[in-house]
A = this chain, B = another copy of it.
Amino acid sequence: MVSSGVQVLGTTFSPFVNRVRISLNLKSVNFELIEENLAAKSDLLLKSNPVHKKVPVLIHDGKCISESLVIVEYIDEKWSGDDGVSILPSDPYDRAVARFWAAYFDDKVVPVLFKLSFGPESERVALIEQLAEGLVPLEEAFMTCSKGKSYFGGDNIGYTDIALGSFIGWIKAIEKMSGIKVLAEAKTPGLVGWVNKFLSTDAAKKFVPELEVYVELLKKMQA
């Protein structure tokens, strides 16, 4: 582990924070998670991310970086080359494809997850359908990007894997609570296989909370 005085302001269950934790873990960077209480944000958080006042914030060398995907790119660039682990691929076109799908996920899928968690119960069935539809293009993306390998990043997890994979727990909790399969073998066989492989990687497994943690959290949010 590289020792570097790296801190992450966040919560253990936030998928956005887990993008950062998985990326640091992948790069073998030692870090301290400073747990935030989002109901009573710390002065450190308000000072570190005055614009959005949100987690995650990465604090490194006295500098603060916000926005999960911006942080992931920073980590990839700052700790590059030491042991050959790259988060983004090296080819500019492949990099663009990875960024495209991460942006797609944040624009089209994440807002549905939020509505499912905080919105009215009456809309949930329609939203789950919308969620499942939003994941379909990612099945095609997986088939194209993985080129027959295990991950979007090929043989190893990369940018798209991290961007999407951090949200698996949340999606599984929605499936569990609604009794409706969002990722089903029939429609998205590639993604179903990818989920299991992603969750078993060293980088991800310690940072994706147990399903029951998300179910409890979701119950609270929906209440």
Interface residues of A (CB under 8 A from B): 51-52, 61, 63, 65-67, 70-71, 73-74, 77-78, 92-93, 95-97, 99-100, 103-104, 137
Give me the 10 closest cross-chain CB pairs, A-B, nearest first: A77-B92, A74-B96, A78-B92, A70-B99, A65-B96, A70-B96, A70-B100, A74-B92, A63-B93, A51-B137
How far in angstroms is the closest Cβ of chain B from A39? 23
A51 to B143, CA, bound (A): 15
Q: Decide if A70 touches B103 in the complex (CB within 8 Å).
A: yes
Contact status A104-B63, CB under 8 Å? no
- Residues of B with C-beta under 8 A to A73: 95-96, 99
Closest B-chain residue to A71, C-beta based? B96
Contacting pair B67 A100 (CB below 8 A): yes
Q: How far is the CA of A67 from the CA of B71 in the complex (A)?
A: 20
